[in-house]
Amino acid sequence: MEKGILKISQISKIFISKYPVIAFFLILLFFHSSFVKSESYAVASRHHLATDIGMKVLEEGGNAIDAAVAVAFALAVVNPSAGNLGGGGFMLLHLAETKETLSIDYRERAPKKSFETMFQDNSGKVIKGLSLNSILASGVPGTVSGMFYASRKFGTIDIKSLINPSINLAKEGFALSDFQAKNLNKYKKKFSKNKEAKKIFTKTNGFSKGDILVQTNLASTLKRIAQNGEKEFYSGETAKKIADFFQINGGLLSLEDLNQFELRILDPVCGNYRVYTICSMAPPSSGGIALVQILNILENINLSEIGHNSKEYLKILISAMDYAYKDRAKYLGDPDYFKVPQDLLTSKKYANEIYKKIQEKKLPSKVNVNIIESEETTHFSIVDKWGNAVSNTYTLNTAYGSGIIPTGTGILMNNEMDDFSSKPGHPNAYGLVGSVANKIEPKKTPLSSMSPVIVFRDGKPYLITGSPGGSTIITSVLQEILNILDFQMSLEESSKKSRIHFQHLPDILFHEQLDDDLIEFLKKDKKLINRKLGEIHSILLRKDNIQAFSDKRRPDGKASTVYK
């Protein structure tokens, strides 16, 4: 055999010496064909047009970060309820070449003139709606900064070409789905309070499926950003338009706030669960700590043996969620302003102590509060042919944010100031109760439930996932992880399974369709509310197979894969 190999080697040397040019191209063709055969990439997002744009970037040789930037700008146009320029979020990314996993916190910051009692009256009572629907509701947006940083640091394609498809979509318009048309009509009253929003997002007789939504001012803003870079949004003409609007209308957000916005590069929160490593966002997200804490508790049980969505399974999930959300309210906030006991909360020892309490039926005390739930955030997952992965969740907070568009910009502004504790102990729009850890302070970042996740097996991305859903994000993502890792479901199978959500306060168990005997069992201890939970967009990489799936709980999402 060795002689045979030697003979082939000698022939190769003779051929290369006689025909060097031909040999070069044959070698190049060999490596290229080998490379193409190993290609696989995928995008899963909230809107089919955004997914198509991301896939085109990957097809043309861009990496996952390039595609993520293009998808994020596209969603700002085609998914205005949550995709945004006027909001913020978290990007978790894994770089295949360096095997580094890091996260970008481009979440909104409180304006410099913010103060702890800004949403309270003289008697200390929280003024209803002020943190959601007023000119005071907006934090300093971070999305543009986040996308430009990601592109500059990790991308391979000029960001102008990544923004161009979004400019065209805004300028020429796109056809509304039935869901989008109805959703815009649902918030007509909200839009009608702002001249610009009313002009763009309302129609005399309401929108219908197939109507073309054109956003001319947004197209112009995107064009300026593409030409002038992120400085356009933070110190240029666009920044001045935003700041002038807030000043004229009695807001706190200023040009100085925009000038001074800074994102943060954070180490992800990672934990080991069985043979997997789960990584998600560190504070100011509560997602990473809560997920790791719950998984540490559940690791004490062989879940696959007790049966998916069985009485025992749901009972342990509810108890673990209860403790995690109690700790969320007490301990979590912006780490630059409050010392978060991250090591304690994510430790196996602490989780084992909680598990013992659960076994002894020692549960946290409960206090009922009102809850208003929203689904409006958006997530997308991307993996490229090199193994780079992006899990990104960003938002305006509630649907269409504050509903306010600064004159001439086309930019819907966030209402993220509601994610602070307007008053310690008082619930926000999601019913989440916070403490002094999350009180309002100048330049501070509000606590968030956004939980972009990358699960690793043998050091490589295995599951890329995330969801919208306010306070239900963490539990929706948790159950996706359990379905895939413990029960070996496909993404489609997982999506079809009913989810539950419990968050300590209020003492209400939210659930999707469950068997009658389970409902009767759960009724004994909890008030129940039936509703849809989460909207997962995931990519799963199993051995030589790649899956991508966009949750069908809401229409318009699309997952695309290429496998060769």
- Torsion sign over Cα 426, 430, 432, 437: negative
| Confidence band for 254, pLDDT divided at 50, 70 and 90 | very high
Q: CA–CA separation, 392 vs 342, rounded Å?
A: 22
The torsion defined by the Cα of 194, 106, 483 and 363, in degrees rounded to 10, comes to -90
Q: CA–CA separation, 279 vs 135, rounded Å?
A: 36
Q: CA–CA separation, 391 vs 385, rounded Å?
A: 16
Mean pLDDT of the chain: 91
Which of 96, 84, 48 lies closest to 541, judged by CA?
96
Q: Give residue for tokens 């946290």.
A: 364
Gyration radius from the chain CA atoms: 25
Report whether pLDDT(27) > 70. Answer: no
Domain range summary for the chain, segments of one domain joined by +: 2-37
Q: CA–CA separation, 524 vs 542, rounded Å?
A: 40
Percent of the chain topping pLDDT 90: 84
Report whether pLDDT(369) > 80. Answer: no
Least confident of 212-226, 357-371, 377-391, 531-545: 357-371
More confident residue, 445 or 370: 445
Q: Give residue for tokens 């102008």.
A: 160
Which of 556, 532, 473 lies closest to 74, judged by CA?
556
Report whether pLDDT(177) > 60. Answer: yes
pLDDT, residue 20, reads: 57
Q: Which of 327-336, 435-444, 450-459 has the highest mean pLDDT?
A: 450-459
Give 413's Cβ-side CA count (13 Å radius): 31
**Would you tell me how many other CB atoms lie within 10 Å of the CB of residue 516?**
7
Q: Write phi, then psi, for 297 (nearest 5 degrees).
A: -65, -45
What per-residue string of b and e applies to 535-558 under the rule 16 or more CB within 10 Å gives b? bbbbbbbeeeebbbbbbebbebbb
The torsion defined by the Cα of 233, 238, 240 and 245, in degrees rounded to 10, comes to -110
pLDDT, tens digit (0-9, with 9 covering 90-100), for 58-97: 999 999 999 999 999 999 999 999 999 999 999 999 999 9
The residues that are catalytic are 377
Report whether pLDDT(339) > 90. Answer: yes
**Would you tell me how many other CB atoms lie within 10 Å of the CB of residue 289?**
28
pLDDT, residue 7, reads: 36
- Torsion sign over Cα 77, 279, 362, 448: negative
DSSP assignment letter at 441: -
Report whether pLDDT(296) > 80. Answer: yes
pLDDT, residue 423, reads: 80
pLDDT, tens digit (0-9, with 9 covering 90-100), for 385-440: 999 999 999 999 999 999 999 999 999 999 999 999 888 777 776 666 666 788 99
| Confidence band for 505, pLDDT divided at 50, 70 and 90 | confident
Q: CA–CA separation, 233 vs 488, rounded Å?
A: 45
